[in-house]
Copies of this chain bind each other. A is one copy, B any other.
Amino acid sequence: MTPMEIEDILLEMKDTSELMIDLAYSALLYDNEEIARHVIELEERVDDWDEEVQQKAIERALEDRDVQKALVFIRLANSIESIADGAVLIADVVLRDIETHPVVAAALKESDAAIATVTVPPISPAAGKSLGELKIASETGMWIIAIRRGEGWTYGPDENARVEEGDLLIARGPVEGEKELRALIGG
């Protein structure tokens, strides 16, 4: 594996922190400790990247003498870390919790970015196709943030991830997107 450039790490951090937030709210909405624990795992990755950015930023500053640029890199990594921390705090509520979710869950469903679950039915036109082939995001406005197949989970699936009959999809998007997602996968 070739070492990642600072810009690539920041991009991974950004995408991961956004996935963490969506997963954290999903965990809260469905009172799902497994998803909450995955948010905590992702946080460790973000922490490692944060340190890596700091080190590489300083190394690069030694080469190009551009102190300002190094500071921008370090500040951005810290910013994203703070966002990820917020997601961890939400996940933490789920992991500590004592049956207080229904109150909040009802409110969460009203969000601009609502979270929905759809199960892929038998004989779905989507079965066997990848998320990229289905163009789910651009066709329905919904982002697939997790897929449960049997006992296993895929978090933040990329466009190559395939949808199979019986999969449970957790998606985030506009309220009206849920209907379109169901139409697309025949759920």
Which A residues contact B (CB, under 8 angstroms)?
7-8, 10-11, 14-15, 17-18, 21, 24-25, 28, 66, 68-69, 72-73, 75-76, 78-87, 89-90, 92-93, 97-98, 100-101, 103-104, 106-108, 110-113, 135, 137-141, 143, 173-174, 176-177, 180
A20-B7 Cα distance, complex, nearest whole Å: 22
> Apart from A68-B97, A86-B86, A143-B174, what 6 extra A-B contacts exist at CB < 8 Å?
A7-B103, A7-B106, A75-B89, A83-B83, A137-B174, A137-B177
Closest residue on chain B to residue A74 by CB atoms: B93
Minimum CB–CB distance from A161 to chain B (whole Å) comes to: 13
Minimum CB–CB distance from A81 to chain B (whole Å) comes to: 7
Per DSSP, chain A at the interface is: helix
A85-B8 Cα distance, complex, nearest whole Å: 23
Q: Could you name 6 residue pairs across A and B whose Cβ atoms are closer than 8 Å?
A: A18-B21, A72-B104, A76-B90, A79-B87, A83-B86, A141-B173
